[in-house]
Amino acid sequence: MSALRFDANLKWLFTEHEFLDRFAAAAAAGFTGVEFPDPYPYEAGELRKRLDDNGLHQVLVNTPMGAKGTPEQQGITCFPDLVPRFRDEFLSALDYAVALGADFVHLVGGMVPPGTSRDRAFARYVANVAWASEQAAGTGVRLLLEAQNKRDAPGFILETQAQAHAVAEVCDAGNVGVLLDVYHAQIDEGDLLTLLGTELPGAFHVQIADPPSRHEPGTGEVNFKSVFAAIKASGYDGWIGCEYAPAAGTVAGLGWREELAP
């Protein structure tokens, strides 16, 4: 069995540096892959150069998210009244993903918009995911669906891992799959080892952080030694995105890789 592969989320890690300098910092800390949600302020060519210069692989980009505190802060994929904008933004995300050689676009689902029923938002969500899946066909870029916890994202459209799997299955295109975020899963679902047993097969991507504070593994309530052993035993061979806020400096907090991961 090969070692687990961790990538650095450059929104969360290496924030001691300006964004474009985080690539070199991640490579210097031993990462060979990165992910970040928001490539849009930068030219794709500039980002690609940073990847190539530092020998890094791009794992994912997100569809755009609105400003914190707005209804759109967790994406608009489920917004029935913003379909043309969703489509434009998705196509832009797909262009970035292709230009960066990324594996995935994360279709950030969104919190059910004010004045809209959950059922109506859910129907739009599934329709938008299906449309995006058709657009991505043949590009080599696959699409991710993530359930988020209700504490951080009240009203988020996907509430459980099983629901995310069900939507991916409905699309039935092979290019839509689950982003299993251990942080969200622990907060709302728990029973992590059982959950990993049922939900890891077929998951396209994994992200990690330790609740309740969303710091690095080993700082909170999750037994990451067991979680990493279970991921390894499952045969999962994709990337594991480090999507956490370092408790006291990114590099100072990286010891968990040797201490907890096989």
Ligand X SMILES: O=C(O)C(=O)[C@@H](O)CO
128 binds ligand X (CB under 6 A): no
CA distances from 117 to 4, 111, 114, 147, 252 (A): 41, 11, 8, 18, 45
Does residue 146 carry a catalytic annotation?
A: yes
DSSP 80: G
- The residue among 177, 251, 217 whose CA lies nearest residue 4 is 217
63 binds Mg ion (CB under 5 A): no
181 binds Mg ion (CB under 5 A): yes
Of 30-49, binders to ligand X (CB under 6 A) are 37
Report, in Å, the least distance between residue 109 CB and ligand X: 8
Of 62-101, binders to ligand X (CB under 6 A) are 62, 74
Rounded distance between C-alpha atoms, residue 146 and residue 129, angstroms: 12
Q: What contacts 60, CB < 8 A, 6 or more positions away?
A: 35, 97, 102, 103, 104, 105, 106, 144, 205, 241
Rounded to the nearest angstrom, the gap between the alpha carbon of residue 45 and the centroid of all alpha carbons in its chain is 22
207 binds Mg ion (CB under 5 A): yes
**Sheet with 104-106, edge to edge strand ranges:** 57-58, 33-35, 5-9, 239-242, 203-208, 176-181, 142-145, 104-106, 60-62
What, of Mg ion, ligand X, none, does residue 112 touch, CB below 5 to 8 Å by kind?
A: none
DSSP 210: B
Catalytic residue among 35, 89, 146, 199: 146
Q: Compare residues 63 and 207 and give the one whose CB is closer to Mg ion.
A: 207
* Residue of 7, 89, 103, 146 interacting with ligand X (CB under 6 A): 146
58 binds ligand X (CB under 6 A): no
62 binds Mg ion (CB under 5 A): no
Binding-residue pattern over the window 230 to 249 for Mg ion, x denoting contact by CB under 5 A: -------------x------
Rounded distance between C-alpha atoms, residue 89 and residue 38, angstroms: 12
* CA terminus-to-terminus distance, the chain: 10
Report, in Å, the least distance between residue 207 CB and Mg ion: 4
Report, in Å, the least distance between residue 249 CB and ligand X: 21
* Residue of 181, 199, 210, 216 interacting with ligand X (CB under 6 A): 181
Rounded distance between C-alpha atoms, residue 159 and residue 4, angstroms: 27
103 binds ligand X (CB under 6 A): no
Phi, psi of 83 (to 5 degrees): -65, -45
Report, in Å, the least distance between residue 46 CB and ligand X: 21
- Which amino acids are annotated catalytic? 146, 243
Q: What residues make contact with ligand X under the rule CB under 6 A?
A: 37, 62, 74, 108, 146, 148, 181, 184, 207, 243
